Structure 1
Amino acid sequence: MTLVLVLVLVLAALVFPWAAAAAARRMASALPPREACAAITGAAVLAAAGTGAALVGLAHVPFLALFEGLSLARVAAAWPAALPVAGVAAAVLAAQLVLVARRWSGHRSLLARTWADTADAEAEGDLLVVTGENPDAFALPGRGLRAGRVVVTRAMLQVLNARERRVLVAHERAHLAGRHHLLSVTVHLAAAVHPALRVLGPVLDFHLERWADESAAEAVGDRRLAATALARAALAGASAGRAARGPLLSVSTGPVPQRVQALLGPLPTRPAAPSAQAAVAGLGLAVLACTVSAAAVAYGLHEYVELASRAIRGH
């Protein structure tokens, strides 16, 4: 295993996430919402894992050298780039771990604050009605022994009629039932590992909302009513400045016109068009390349250290 091949494998593991992200976006546009969310999350996790494995492979070169009984000074003399590269990789890994930990802590803090803010809300089953001048509604995931709740402000309830309120509540309940916040948080954390994965967050948010839209339409049995209710609720929520908030998924997340248009069209089905098949194949190849190349990095670096060991020892 030559140094050139090792560098090629490392480059592949770090570059392929860009291809995986592009393929995942294309594939998601050709799939029903539920499958699209699974594809985006899977691609993000595999690409992040491949990047992390590549960095671990680079960072542990000095440890492999010590395992082979070589001093770092002798390894540096035979391979001058070994220690600087390992140091950079270790620094990047440390930064990634800090960023992931901060994002996770931010999500947990947000949930804790939101649960505290809704402590005095009026409970109606799984529905929490809170006071507030701004129309708002979102799915509040469970915390500890408390199950998830649908949080709606009185101002939002006043915007909608009785039938439209059924759609709104069904939409947010779909977020809770599908545990959509876990998918959202997973992709958000994966984006801390590789910058290519940042584009998948908004794409996932849109398809999560589409998934909840379709579930709400199925619950009320009227796609046109669902489109009207979600458009009105989303526009009202947008006027309150609602933005995507990770684990707190709101009905106003994502491009509302595209969501309404989709509800006014036919029920989404899995296409069999060649373009969709090509997108599936592209995504599979991209994530497979990430995983295989990252796994090969560790093996390749070990082989290179052994090669350096024999060269240093003169046999």
Structure 2
Amino acid sequence: MESDAAVLAWLHDSDPALRWKVERDLLDAPAARWEETRARVAREGFGAQLLARQDPDGQWAGGAHFPADFRGDEPQPWTATSWSLMSLREWGVDATALRPDTAGLLERNARWEYEDLPFWDGEVDACINAFTLANGAWLGAEVTGIRDWFVTHRLPDGGWNCEWVEGSTRSSFHSTLNSVIGILDDERRTGGAPALHDARRAAEEYLLERRLLYRLSTGEEHPWADHLGYPFRWRYSALRALDHFRAASRHDGTAPDPRLADAIERVRATRDPDGTWHQAYPPQGREWFPVDVPAGEPSRWLTFFALRVLRWWDEA
């Protein structure tokens, strides 16, 4: 691609799930235009395909976090309820496009694979609870218990770790990023809770102290820092973390933190000569259908997220 204009045109020539974001965040289109495109997500392309997979009981693939036929002899599948809700929410689908009273259907029919716990109560995994908090806020479910869980289960160093139940006392980049993303989504949709807001800001400080890239104890680079792959799902990367800090900055009305500079330059340096970012580590495992390209090819999704983050930083 020969110019930024060509890259933007390429990004815009995409599924409505991405196109409306390009229109809003990169092309500065009028609200009426990108809102019309966003409304199309439920009627065509990725959104319509995934909505059509919802079961009459409100679930996808018959399970909460794993499909009903999962036997543990394959990589994590991405077809079950938690992941499907996450995709639809992130693509901008309106909650009314799902089956009527999906929140109630899941309350009655969905149970976590861990100890058969009720769906909207969450479970012991911070990442799963973060996804469920955000999904519940989107669907209007009662998730007060999950809000309280995050406040009481934050670790002494500031963040969270999905392995706390096995004795871990140190926060994880992955778990902490997933948690602050879910908490922020809840805040934006419902107003959140003061104690949870404070927990989010403290956990963000955990990541900022490490400049999104480094272990505080040794200064070594986190092995997942350059893990450019879409869909993000649960995985940490500097790009995904920067996208969260952009959203948090806009929500909180704060300027970009200077400690993000190293991560910003890392993202800038990974841009390919044609102006795009390529898919490096697509997640393995069953999915309903592919939403991005194979490894090695230019990724519209990664290019969009990178350009949006860099624009926010450069224009601050």
In our comparison, the structure showing a higher alpha carbon Rg is: 1
Tell whether the structures are fold-level matches, with TM greater than 0.5.
no
Q: TM-score, normalised by structure 1?
A: 0.29
- Provide TM-score, normalisation by structure 2: 0.29
More helix by share: 1
Choose between structure 1 and 2: higher strand proportion: 1
> Bigger relative contact order, structure 1 or 2, given CA contacts below 8 A and separation 6+?
1
